[in-house]
Amino acid sequence: MNLNLRRSSAAFASGIVFGFGLSLSGMLDPVRVQGFLDIFGAWDPSLAFVLGGAVIVTFIGVQAMKRMTHPAFDDSFHVPENREIDAPLVVGSTLFGLGWGIGGFCPGPAVASLSIGLPQTVLLVAAMLVGMTLHDRVWNRRP
């Protein structure tokens, strides 16, 4: 099996596991996510447990990565080197948070939610794709 096929297979398997986890945890329901953000109303703490589990799994993964010389399907790890808090980071984080709060989805669960056929999810994913395309076209033109 060639390297590109192994990479694609690993990415596909990771996506299936991620989507299954989102479905199992109820994170494909935007009302649940919005309930977590409604701290002064009918607060739903279930997302806190999902986020806590993600932090634990990520911590274990980073510790394992530190002991490896390279990943299984690449020559090196691609870890962000920029540690600055700059305007694009703040603006992007703000837009992400606003979109997450209003729509009840972040990009991964939004794409996974296409499988349950909510009409608003199709609109959200389409708008997300338009936004990402515009960003790439504008951002890549910067000097």
Task: Report pLDDT for 128.
Answer: 87
Q: Would the pLDDT of 62 be above 90?
A: yes
Instruction: Read off the pLDDT of each residue in 102-112 and give the average, rounded to a whole number.
Output: 84
Distance CA 44, CA 94 (A): 22
86 neighbors 79 (Cβ within 8 angstroms): no
Query: Model pTM greater than 0.85?
Result: no
Q: 105: burial class by Cβ within 10 Å (0-12, 13-18, 19+)?
A: buried
Domain ranges of the chain: 3-139
Task: Report pLDDT for 113.
Answer: 86
